[in-house]
């Protein structure tokens, strides 16, 4: 992608503005710095307000650096066990994060999620780029619910912000080495410190991961869901003046392995013998194990195609902050490039039954945001403006080898067996996105402990797609050029009150907006934006002695035009707007500290997320052995799915985390940690059938860590999914051409290992 005139102008403007501020600040006498906050105070950067967690009127979870790493939170998938009402899976190597039942359902190329994924406040727009592992992280912030004022375009579900560790004014660093089962080796470390006194500091961090597969391709002998990846990051911090700071962060990651495989979970409406592979003499994994007289292990696959995963990404972010005490101005400029190639097997057999599925994605994006805060006494302001552009080049290529032979068997035709062998199901093209937004909100102190906040954001987005859709077997080769643009105003109103005992009570009304979509090479009509009105009541607080902390939230969502993706009756990927949906629920969280060295954290959630009005085609219509739905009044050929649960929306979740430190006198300390997470059943499609469902399950993790008296050396023994619970992360029902089989991904099995650490 060529650097655009707009991008040049924005970068130049940023540089000029910073240079002017630096000149002005240098000519003034710097004010005395404010005293540093206590280390226990957590500042939530994703809210852009500079407030602490305890003073923020929102449902927020913040995970510190101690929770991140081997045996803990290693990637986006681990967030589900640690944060209330968060569900994470992957499909086609794409991150599918849901918060309160809202997330990415589309499987089309070009779709983006309803949960904004950020690094240091800069958007990471491609869901496939969000699956790289975490390392050298200061904290992870999860904001639940629509963030329509401060984020706009893609945050109807919520926001996840990854805050990387900053350079320090003193020399320090760490090194971690982990070895575990599946011959897993992980090396991670960071080093940093001053370069030029107190003016310039640096930090360099990196991570290397390699492990065997959780399964095996029993036909080719290659691993399944293994990992071979590395990543590194460099940060520079310039304290230009006492009140002007510039942080530059650049990182790169690469993966080359057999990860993100299609696991075959069985047939649905068609018996297995009528699937393409078996009809043409091939075997599935069920046939393989039946011949051995053994139960099927679906962590393995049996396919002529290996699950190839190649991806790499590079990003550079510059954050300039001018802090004048009562006024702050922040400029965040980011550039990101991402490429990936994934291959899986749609026919889930050991022969080439037109099932080789190739995904190519190449994206380049640029974003610029300016935000400010101003303290005017009883009135405080938060505002800003942003610009985002992205060029996404993509391709979905399925060679139709042996398709004519299949038609001859199924339809009784007399086609040349190799008629379509040189043909394709092919979606290819480019989507260019431009988005802009501006927001302003003001918080007025009505009384010493009563504040009213009102604000609004203007959102504008344009997507222009060019490409072609080709399906030689249906005689289709058509252009897919289309352009759509949308705008919306999303308001926010908050009333908050702090009781004499220190409890924060709040009520909030917010509107969320998710842009319309133009999918790559798709014959889909342009997909309309989705909107949500969110109503939330909440509280958070802590007892005076700090032994008990608590928070709770109750919410109600009213959705219109919810975007839902699926494979239609013509075996073509399609995304449509569900008419409406509504979600409501409750989240309760508490932390108990019964003794100085002991803490217990508990959370529980209830979520009722259902379609209010939704008609769609049903793959099992007319099959009396399966549940049937009423016909839609306006379109009798479609099924009325009103009342069905949304995908990835468990009704109940409960988690308990316990930590205890044993002091060993002059010999150091021993940290004991354990957690248990229960998730109710979830459905992965709008039809709520058992062939795309994960039953309720519980998972347990534990660790024991020795630290030397000076805390410079540590050794940890840890285990995750200790009961080796088999659980699905996501499934889809494939196209009619492949017999509507159920395929998807799995959560990791039991893993355990030892980690050696050195801090210096």
pLDDT band at 30 (very low <50, low <70, confident <90, very high): very low
Average pLDDT over residues 108-132: 89
Q: Name the residue with tokens 């078996």.
A: 278
Residue 20 in this model has a pLDDT that exceeds 50: no
Q: Which helix (H) or strand (E) holds 62?
A: strand 60-64
CA distances for 685 relative to 270, 592, 616, angstroms? 18, 38, 12
Q: Between these two residues, 169 and 89, which has the higher pLDDT value?
A: 169
How confident is the model over 682-686, as a mean pLDDT? 93
Q: In terms of Cα–Cα distance, which of 99, 102, 68 is closest to 85?
A: 99
- pLDDT at site 567: 67
Q: What is the pLDDT of residues 433-458, one digit of tens each?
A: 999 999 999 999 999 999 999 999 99
Residue 100 main-chain phi, psi, to 5 deg: 55, 35
Tokens at residue 504, please?
């924060």
Please state the rounded mean pLDDT for residues 623-648: 91
Asked whether the predicted pLDDT for residue 50 surpasses 90, the reply is no
Percentage of the chain modeled with pLDDT above 70:
94
pLDDT of 147 above 70: yes
Looking up tokens 């039954």, which residue turns up?
353
pLDDT at 29 over 80: no
Backbone conformation region of residue 55, classed left if phi is above 0, alpha if psi is from -120 to 50, else beta: alpha
DSSP state for residue 403 in the 8-state scheme: H
Mean pLDDT of 299-313: 97
Percent of the chain with pLDDT over 90: 78
Confidence class of residue 569 from pLDDT cuts 50, 70 and 90? low
| Complete DSSP assignment for 239-269 | EEETTEEEEEEEEEEEEEES-S--EEEE-SS
What does the radius of gyration of the chain's CA atoms come to, in whole angstroms? Answer: 26
Assign residue 354 a region: left if phi > 0, alpha if psi is -120 to 50, beta otherwise?
A: left
What is the pLDDT, as a whole number, of residue 744?
94
- Map residue 205 onto helix, strand or coil: strand
Kindly tell me the sign of the dihedral angle through the C-alpha atoms of 620, 621, 623, 629: positive
The CA distance from 62 to 631, in Å, is: 46
The enclosing H or E element of 27 equals none
Q: What is the mean pLDDT of the chain?
A: 91
Segment among 148-157, 455-464, 732-741 with least mean pLDDT: 148-157
For residue 494, CA distances in Å to 20, 21, 445, 497, 508 come to 36, 33, 12, 10, 4
d(CA 394, CA 110): 8
> Which of the residue ranges 288-292, 396-400, 528-532, 677-681 would you say has the lowest mean pLDDT?
528-532
Whole-angstrom distance, CA of residue 139 vs CA of residue 153: 24
Domain 5-26+43-759: which topology?
Maltoporin; Chain A (2.40.170)
SS3 56: coil
Dihedral of the alpha carbons of 536, 537, 542, 547, in degrees to the nearest 10: -80
pLDDT score of 32: 36
What pLDDT shows up at residue 624?
A: 86
* pLDDT surpassing 80 at residue 735: yes
pLDDT in tens, 216-236: 999 999 999 999 999 999 999
User: 101-127: b or e for each residue (b if 16 or more CB lie within 10 Å)?
Assistant: bbbbbbbbbbbbbbbbbbbbbbbbbbb
Confidence category of residue 6, pLDDT binned at 50, 70, 90: very low
Q: What is the pLDDT of residue 51?
A: 82
What residues contact 15, with CB distance under 8 A and at least 6 apart? none
The answer to whether the CB of 717 falls within 8 A of the CB of 70 is no
**CA 732, chain centre distance (Å):** 18
pLDDT, one tens digit per residue, over 232-265 is: 999 999 999 999 999 999 999 999 999 999 999 9
Partners of residue 244 on adjacent β-strands: 241, 322
Say if residue 37's pLDDT is above 50. Answer: no
Using the predicted structure, report yes or no on whether residue 23 has a pLDDT greater than 80.
no
Pairing of the two strands 158-164 and 115-119:
parallel
Lowest-confidence pick of 72-81, 131-140, 474-483, 571-580: 571-580
Between 131 and 50, the more confident residue is 131
Angle (CA) 535 540 542, round 5°: 175
Question: Which pTM value belongs to this model?
Answer: 0.90
Residue 306 pLDDT level (bands cut at 50, 70, 90):
very high
Assign 707 a pLDDT band (cuts: 50, 70, 90): very high
- Predicted pLDDT of residue 648: 93
């Amino acid at each position: 992608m060529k650097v655009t005139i707009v991008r040049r102008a924005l970068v130049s403007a940023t540089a000029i503005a910073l240079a002017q501020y630096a000149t002005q600040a240098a000519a003034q006498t710097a004010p005395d710095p404010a005293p540093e906050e206590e280390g226990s105070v957590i500042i939530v950067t994703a809210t852009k307000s500079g407030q602490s967690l305890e003073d923020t009127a929102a449902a927020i979870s913040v995970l510190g650096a101690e929770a991140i790493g081997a045996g803990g939170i290693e990637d986006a998938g681990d967030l589900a066990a640690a944060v209330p009402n968060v569900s994470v899976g992957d499909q086609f190597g794409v991150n599918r994060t849901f918060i309160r039942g809202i997330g990415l359902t589309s499987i089309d190329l070009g779709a983006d999620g309803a949960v904004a994924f950020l690094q240091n406040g800069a958007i990471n727009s491609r869901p496939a780029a969000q699956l790289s592992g975490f390392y050298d992280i200061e904290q992870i912030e999860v904001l639940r619910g629509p963030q329509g004022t401060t984020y706009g375009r893609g945050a109807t579900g919520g926001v996840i912000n990854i805050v990387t560790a900053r350079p320090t004014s003193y020399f320090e660093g760490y090194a971690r080495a982990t070895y575990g089962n599946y011959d897993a080796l992980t090396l991670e470390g960071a080093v940093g410190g001053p370069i030029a006194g107190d003016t310039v500091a640096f930090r360099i961090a990196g991570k290397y991961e390699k492990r065997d597969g959780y399964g095996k391709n029993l036909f080719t002998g290659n691993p399944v869901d293994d990992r071979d990846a590395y990543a590194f990051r460099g940060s520079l911090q310039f304290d230009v003046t006492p009140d002007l700071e510039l942080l530059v962060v650049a990182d790169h990651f690469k993966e080359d392995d057999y990860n993100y495989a299609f696991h075959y979970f069985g047939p649905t409406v068609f018996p297995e013998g009528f699937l393409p592979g078996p009809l043409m003499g091939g075997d599935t994994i069920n046939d393989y194990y039946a011949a051995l007289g053994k139960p099927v292990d679906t962590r393995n696959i049996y396919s002529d195609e290996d699950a190839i995963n190649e991806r790499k990404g590079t990003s550079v972010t510059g954050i300039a902050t001018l802090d004048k005490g009562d006024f702050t101005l922040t400029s965040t400029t980011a550039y990101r490039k991402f490429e990936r190639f994934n291959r899986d097997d749609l026919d889930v057999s050991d022969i080439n039954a037109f099932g080789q599925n190739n995904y190519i994605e190449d994206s380049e994006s640029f974003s610029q945001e300016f935000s400010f805060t101003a303290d005017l006494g009883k009135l405080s302001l938060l505002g800003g403006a942003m610009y985002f552009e992205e060029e996404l080049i993509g391709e979905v290529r399925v060679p139709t080898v042996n398709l004519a032979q299949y038609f001859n068997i199924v339809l009784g035709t007399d086609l040349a067996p190799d008629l379509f062998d040189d043909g394709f199901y092919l979606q290819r093209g480019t989507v260019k996105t431009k988005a802009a937004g501006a927001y302003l909100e003001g918080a007025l102190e009505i009384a010493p402990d009563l504040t009213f906040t009102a604000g609004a954001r203007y959102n504008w987005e344009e997507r222009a797609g060019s490409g072609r859709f080709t399906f030689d077997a249906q005689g289709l080769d058509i252009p897919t050029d289309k352009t759509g643009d949308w705008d919306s105003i999303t308001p926010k109103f908050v009333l908050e009150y702090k009781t004499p005992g220190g409890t924060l009570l709040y009520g909030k009304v917010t509107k969320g907006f998710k842009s319309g979509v133009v999918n790559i090479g798709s014959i889909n009509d342009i997909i309309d934006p989705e909107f949500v009105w969110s109503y939330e009541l909440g509280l958070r607080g802590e007892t005076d002695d700090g032994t008990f902390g608590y928070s709770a939230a109750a919410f109600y969502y009213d959705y219109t035009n919810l975007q839902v993706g699926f494979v239609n009756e013509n075996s073509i990927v399609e995304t449509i707007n569900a008419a409406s949906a509504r979600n409501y629920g409750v989240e309760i969280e508490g932390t108990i500290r019964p003794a100085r060295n002991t803490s217990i954290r508990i959370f529980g959630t209830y979520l009722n997320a259902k379609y209010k009005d939704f008609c769609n085609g049903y793959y099992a219509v007319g099959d009396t052995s399966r549940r049937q739905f009423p016909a839609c009044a306006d379109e009798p050929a479609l099924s009325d799915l009103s009342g069905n649960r949304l995908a990835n929306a468990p009704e109940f979740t409960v988690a308990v985390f316990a930590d205890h430190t044993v002091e060993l006198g002059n010999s150091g300390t021993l940290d004991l940690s354990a957690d248990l997470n229960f998730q109710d059943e979830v459905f992965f499609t709008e039809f709520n059938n058992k062939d795309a469902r994960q039953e309720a399950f519980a998972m347990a993790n534990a660790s024991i860590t020795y630290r030397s008296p000076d805390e410079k050396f540590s050794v940890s023994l840890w285990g995750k999914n200790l009961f080796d619970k088999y659980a699905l992360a996501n499934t889809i029902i494939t196209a009619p051409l492949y017999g509507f089989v159920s395929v998807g991904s799995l959560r990791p099995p039991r893993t355990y290992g030892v980690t050696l650490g050195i801090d210096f």
